Amino acid sequence: MAEDIAKAVARRRTFAIIAHPDAGKTTLTEKLLLFGGAIQLAGEVKAKKDRIQTRSDWMKIERERGISVVTSVMTFEYGDNVFNLLDTPGHEDFADDTYRTLSAVDSAVMVIDAAKGIEPRTLKLFEVCRLRDIPIITFVNKMDREARNTFEILDEIEEKLALDTAPITWPIGQGKTFAGTYHLAQNAVRRGDAEAERTPVHGPDSNRAAGLLPDNERENFIEELELAREACRPFDHDAFLEGHMTPVYFGSALRNYGVRDLIEALGAYGPPPRDQEADTRKVEATEEKMTSFVFKIQANMDPNHRDRIAFVRVCSGELKRGMKAKLVRTGKPMSLSAPQFFFARSRITADEAYAGDVVGIPNHGTLRIGDTLTEGEAILFRGVPNFAPEILRRVRLGDAMKAKKLKEALHQMAEEGVVQLFSPEDGSPAIVGVVGALQIDVLKERLSVEYTLPVDFEMARFSVCRWIEADDPADLQRFVESHRGDIARDLDNDPVFLAQHEFSLNYEAERWKAIRFKAVKDYQ
């Protein structure tokens, strides 16, 4: 059994794609699934988005603004590996959702538009990956269009991200003349989906390499390749795993170039599920007992059923259908009667899942983001982050009779991570907080459609929110007592300090040295 688990764990690769909008994340996702046999025809990922949009009312917002609000999980196999691809919302207003998802992956693919290079959102997401030491494989996309010089692209990655690059393939031509990629170490050419294997060649000047280019580009290609061999760093697997180096692949997701190389790279170099730090010890992925944590909750996966799915990343052992797990936060047992895998097209019932797998657990509000499930051990995984909201609003309800319903609805949505909910100590109405303005729109729409609660949001007198902590509880108590009108409690009953603006926060921080004002809180 231990051997089975070790084998299953070694096969798994759990990753996300990070990219600036429009770089080609959706197209690449589609092609990865296509190559992995998870979908029959390209176009399914977008088609699926459209279907959900027409079926679900609250997602009107998504349709209107042309953004993807939903995060999904897709599992596919290729070669000997099982891949779990965790999709993240493209819009930055849902950044906290993306960051939480990144807490559940072992590696990431960074997609760069070959003409645009490193764009702001790529940089931001890269920084989150770096904080977590997530190894990154780079895919330079859209080589079939006008692209920057290959050396320039590599230089930009090195400079803007302070990350060493190791090109594994080199583009043969670009734009109209883009004809495939040359594998530097193997001296082999791959032209696109048509070639499952790379064709070995004697060198870049071969007919099957430079010969693919028009006469006037051949010399340049051969010279570039020689220079690349001399000037570029060789790939160092350890440096990659430590997050210091990225292997770089070139291609065109749209035209199926470079995609197979990328999947193979994830299989060959991508790390298997990592050991996971818990509060009292490190949990090894190959341990026999099941442990897992919830990194996302999603309501309305299927609008016909009003269900709520907790996305759970397995950290060790075997999560089996029908098993009894312990929900560590409450200490209560929970029966995992219908865990689900998410394939691209449908949900199917999973019988067992191993470290690295992401499983959907349907529930009616038992599970929260950050929850740990085990086979009995009382450990808590840390590291699913909660970000201090940047927008704070009071909820104004038209119909006072519905106050209780509103409270319940807000509570549920806070547990799903749609908003954060703060109850002021002085008994005034609840304050909701979000990281991006669009989240307020989603909240409003969902309160109206799902709960028939017409609400408005009004400015709160606060604009900054920080969790407060102190080593000595007496210090915290003193601070809370002398700021009662500015203190609220979050969903876990942890205190936050609400400030009118940054200036007043800094002022208090100067005066109260014993208090730590925290912009990020790990879910417990």
CB of 496 to ligand G4P, least distance (A): 35
| Count of positions (residues) in the chain | 524
User: Can you tell me the distance from the alpha carbon of 11 to that of 273, in angstroms, rounded to the nearest whole number?
Assistant: 9
Q: Which of 4, 7, 22, 227 binds ligand G4P (CB under 6 A)?
A: 22
DSSP code of residue 209:
T
Which x/- pattern over 233-272 shows residues binding ligand G4P (rule: CB under 6 A)?
-------------------xxx------------------
CB of 16 to ligand G4P, least distance (A): 13
Q: Which is nearer to ligand G4P, 69 or 515 (CB)?
A: 69
Q: Which is nearer to ligand G4P, 258 or 273 (CB)?
A: 258
- Picking from 336, 365, 347, the residue whose alpha carbon sits closest to that of residue 301 is 347
Total residues binding ligand G4P (CB under 6 A): 16
Residues numbered 25-44 forming contacts with ligand G4P, rule: CB under 6 A: 25-27
Are the beta carbons of 266 and 109 closer than 8 angstroms?
yes
Which x/- pattern over 104-143 shows residues binding ligand G4P (rule: CB under 6 A)?
-------------------------------------xx-
Residues numbered 47-106 forming contacts with ligand G4P, rule: CB under 6 A: 90
CB of 68 to ligand G4P, least distance (A): 8
Q: Which is nearer to ligand G4P, 252 or 412 (CB)?
A: 252
DSSP 387-450: EPPSEEEEEEES-GGGHHHHHHHHHHHHHHTSSEEEEETT-PPPEEEESSHHHHHHHHHHHHHH
Mention every residue, 6+ apart, whose C-beta is less than 8 A from residue 159.
Answer: none
CB of 19 to ligand G4P, least distance (A): 5
Which tokens is 481 given?
């007592």
Q: Which is nearer to ligand G4P, 66 or 331 (CB)?
A: 66
User: Can you tell me the distance from the alpha carbon of 507 to that of 314, in angstroms, rounded to the nearest whole number?
Assistant: 43
Which tokens is 500 given?
């009118």
DSSP 159-198: HHH--EEEESEEEES-GGG--EEEETTTTEEE-STT-SSP
CB of 460 to ligand G4P, least distance (A): 34
Q: Which is nearer to ligand G4P, 191 or 321 (CB)?
A: 191
Q: Which is nearer to ligand G4P, 21 or 303 (CB)?
A: 21
Q: Kindly list the residues in this chain that would bind ligand G4P in the complex (CB under 6 A).
A: 19, 21-27, 90, 141-142, 144-145, 252-254
